[in-house]
Chains A and B, each alone.
Chain A
Amino acid sequence: MMRGALRYVRRNPSLAVGIALLAALSLFIIIGRLLVDTEDARPLSVPALRPPSWDYPFGTDRQGRDLLAVMVAGTPLTLRIGFIAGFIGVGLGTVLAFIGAYYRGLIDTVIRGIADIGLTVPGLLVLIIIAVSIKGALTVNQMAIVVASLAWLYPTRTIRAQVLSLRERGYVEVARLSGMSGPGIIFFELMPNVLPYLAASLVGAVSSAILASIGLEVLGLGPIDAPTLGMTLYWVNFNAAMINGWWWWWTAPTVIILMVFLGLFFLTVGLDEIANPRLRRSV
């Protein structure tokens, strides 16, 4: 069993790298929560502007936040936005994709039309307009919903394409002939074959959602109280951390953001290879 897994890893290194990165991040968060007091992610907790040391491994920022605590507390927040938006997006997208692809006709045209049109709109711009139009400012959860409102577009399109091609396969015909109902066919025949695509889509959607939320936060439209990764970058900009030489302040979030995106990316590639065996070639 282990030998099989290892052999697979050699053939699909991307998956392994992706999982490894994300696992490392998760460990960081979990162990971090145990060892570090996340209360120190709040301002006034520690002396300001200390470079990394034994006491403060990631250094501290100008308002007295322990950056290690900020990373431990903020990374899950950022990831949460991504996951909520990603799941809602893919969930909604899957439902719509199946309905459209299976039943075809007018409803398919409408769904596809909306998805196509939505995709030509740069997501960030719509998010910006929503963010500035809302009364007051966004909380973390509200931001997730705002990002989710656009996250279903791409998954709908790709999953629909996949379902369309599967629909014509033999076993679906057999199921239909044998009297299985529409939803039954969807669940029992089509869904299992679409799962790898769903997984890849989900990871992709989560990645886009995190990117969108970080984008909004860096622009100053995010939840200013929250110690998320994007907000940390906002403070970095506001306090001119780069030119003032407080390199540790922006290094930590940058490295973590890199890990998040690289991890998700390699995971997507790995899942893609599972879904599309023709891509199985080592790099």
Chain B
Amino acid sequence: MQVAYIARRFGVLLLIVWLAGTLDFFLPRLSGQDPVRTKLLQQAALGGYVQGSIDEMTREYEQRFGLDKPLWRQYLTYLEDISRLDFNYSIANYPRTVRELITDALPWTIGLLGTTTLLSFGIGTLLGALLAWPRAPRWMGWLMPPLWALHAIPFFLLGLILTYLLAFQVPLLPIFGGYSAGASPEPSWSFAWDVFQHALLPALSIILVATGGWALGMRGMMVTTMGEDYVVFAEAKGLKAPTVFLRYCVRNAILPQVTALALALGQILSGAVLVEVIFGYPGIGTLLYQAIRESDHFVIQGIVFTVVVALGFTTFVLDVVYPWLDPRISYRRS
């Protein structure tokens, strides 16, 4: 049973990967743009009147990279390349390869997103659970409206507001970048502190907004759960309140929350992209933004593919872990 389920989910993952690759391949080509030729033209322009062999260079380049073969051949080659994570060179930052650029930027995004998602999910879920519990302290109720209000704001908008308040009006925190100019990444406390300072505003923008959402969702789940028979039974049995709270209510209410987390990953990432752009934070978001501005198609494709696959993989992991968390749901086909 288990194996069949996991195999099916893995199959879905492969499907996602294939779809992402195909989307990446066909969409940019629909517009008929030729980024290689454009870049070569730009380079030629820098060389003044030395225009003569541009066509030859383009031809040679295309031949070298298989761009003159029929479309289906290119497609197969493309699929093969990306399965090896070879996304070609970055056009704008030649000779860096796309993979290098993404490898540089990805840890920043994972760091920011990972921490903020975990923190907001954790805090939000806990808050939501407490808020639904009738014996929670009364003052907690006052937390809800501001959390709700914050939750409705797009990440980047809060980012703008926070920047204005905490970086312009009161120059408390740095405005942009991942670390101060000139510092080289190194494992040291001062560098870590530098990174922390720079990450604080982007992280706050995300955490403040996302927490409310999780709290709201958890509260809803808790309400549903607390009405269930087994909770009433547990209370009637005389179990202590914290036990009922944690082991009966939270334990069960958290499961749909995890599903919601899996579903929300895509949205969180979209919001984080904009946050990164606003703050010039050196993650995937900024990389993507610059690639858009410079029409660096290979980078754009590489990023989209990487992100889709990463999310697909995370969802896969969550999907596999979920039934293990919730014994009510078996691995059988539902």
Which of B148, B154, B293 is the one whose CB lies under 8 Å from A211? B154
Choose among B27, B273, B303 the residue that contacts A133 (Cβ–Cβ < 8 A): B27
Q: Is B106's beta carbon under 8 Å from chain A?
A: no
Interface residue from B153, B157, B311 paired with A121 (Cβ < 8 Å): B311
Q: How far is the CB of B287 from chain A (nearest CB, A)?
A: 12
B145 and A278 within 8 A (CB): no
A132 contacts chain B at the CB level, 8 A cutoff: yes
Taking a contact as CB atoms under 8 Å apart, the answer to whether B161 and A279 are in contact is: no
Which residues of B from 175 to 200 have beta carbons under 8 Å from A? Answer: none
User: Is A129 within 8 A of B24, CB to CB?
Assistant: yes
A163 in the interface, Cβ–Cβ < 8 Å?
A: no
**Across the A-B interface, how many residue pairs have beta carbons closer than 8 Å?**
132
Q: Name the A residues within 8 Å of B148 (CB-CB).
A: 265-266, 269
Q: Nearest Cβ distance between residue A120 and chain B, in whole angstroms?
A: 5
Complex CA gap A243/B295 in Å reads 29
Nearest CB of chain A from residue B202's CB, rounded to whole Å: 16
Q: Which residues of chain A are near B151, meaning CB under 8 Å? A: 265
B292 touches A278 (CB 8 A): no
CB-defined contacts of B24 to chain A, threshold 8 Å:
129
CB atoms of A133 and B227 under 8 A apart: no
Chain A contact-residue range equals 35 or more
Q: Tell me how far the C-beta of B128 lies from the nearest C-beta in chain A, rounded to whole angstroms.
A: 12
A116→B11 CA distance, assembly (Å): 13
Complexed CA–CA distance, A212 and B270 (Å): 9
A120 to B300, CA, bound (A): 18
Contact B274 A129 (CB under 8 A): no
Q: How many residues of B contact A (CB 8 A)?
A: 59
- In the complex, A124 has a CB within 8 A of chain B: yes
Residues of A within 8 A of B15 (CB): 113, 117
B330 in the interface (beta carbon within 8 A): no
- Interchain CA distance A279-B220 in the complex, whole Å: 6
Given known A214-B154, A221-B292, contact A117–B12 (CB-CB < 8 A): yes
The reply on B124 being an interface residue by CB < 8 A is: no
B277 touches A219 (CB 8 A): yes
Please give, as numbers and ranges, the residues of chain B lying within 8 Å of A122 by CB-CB distance: 265-267, 269-270, 273, 307-308, 311
| Chain B residue, CB-CB nearest to A157 | B263
**Contact residues in B for A281 (Cβ distance below 8 Å):** 223
Nearest CB in chain A: distance from B130 CB, A? 13
Interface residues of B in 23-55 (CB under 8 A from A): 23-24, 27-28, 30-33
Cβ–Cβ contact B308 & A134, under 8 A: no
Question: Considering the chains assembled together, what is the distance between the CA atoms of A208 and B152 in angstroms?
Answer: 11
CB pairs A–B below 8 angstroms (23 shown) = A117-B312, A120-B266, A120-B308, A120-B311, A121-B16, A122-B265, A122-B270, A122-B273, A122-B311, A129-B27, A129-B28, A129-B300, A132-B295, A135-B31, A135-B32, A218-B156, A218-B274, A219-B274, A250-B160, A258-B152, A264-B152, A276-B220, A279-B223
Q: Nearest 9 CB-CB pairs, A to B?
A: A124-B270, A265-B152, A122-B269, A122-B266, A261-B152, A122-B270, A133-B31, A262-B152, A120-B311
- Which B residues are closer than 8 A to A by beta carbons? 12, 15-16, 19-20, 23-24, 27-28, 30-33, 141, 144-145, 148-149, 151-154, 156-157, 160-161, 163-164, 168, 216, 220, 223-224, 227, 263, 265-267, 269-271, 273-274, 277, 288-289, 292-293, 295, 297, 300-301, 303-304, 307-308, 311-312, 315
